Amino acid sequence: MEKKHMVLERGTEEMEGARRATGISSVSDPTAGLREIHAVPDPEVPEKAARRRFTGAYKLRILNEAEACKGTSRCGALLRREGLYSSHLTTWRRQAEKGSLEALFPRKRGPKTAHPNPLKKRVETLEKETQRLRRQLKQAEIIIEVQKKISEILHLPFDPKGEER
């Protein structure tokens, strides 16, 4: 019986630490903590935090609500409620002043993709054909050289065009 009490007590202590970390209030029933063990969020922290992205419609809605707020306290309450900073509003206002809705939408980060050259495929095929023709020309020159040497050895007149005399 003592062992069961120790296990229950250790589990309760672990749950209390988890409750403190997550902000869940303490429970008076020690066995209730064991039943709530699945409510504890995953403590694993991702390697890189994900950047928040706001849609253009959301930005416009927040800007309109901020304009409708009278006094800094209401605007501050809006920012706290939405989890935003005043710099967000400043940036979004500046983007809206540029005059286009596109300025409110997030831009893609990273290197820009290069547009493919429409003539690239044609150039590649022409280069391959040029290489093929150069190989054939080199082969033809070798054959002509061999014919010249054979005609010299046999003391025959050599005519590369193939005309008879």
End-to-end alpha carbon distance in the chain: 123
Half-sphere exposure (Cβ direction) of 78: Cα atoms closer than 13 Å: 19
Position 115 pLDDT exceeds 90: no
Selection from 33, 89, 30 nearest residue 64 by Cα: 89
pLDDT digits (tens, 9 = 90+) for 85-97: 989 988 888 888 8
Confidence tier at 1 by pLDDT (50, 70, 90): very low
Confidence tier at 5 by pLDDT (50, 70, 90): very low
So what's the pLDDT on residue 106? 66
So what's the pLDDT on residue 113? 81
Q: Where are the domains of the chain?
A: 10-39, 56-104, 120-165
So what's the pLDDT on residue 19? 47
Position 160 pLDDT exceeds 80: no
Tokens linked to 35: 């039943």
pLDDT digits (tens, 9 = 90+) for 36-87: 455 677 778 777 878 888 888 888 899 999 988 877 788 889 999 999 998 9
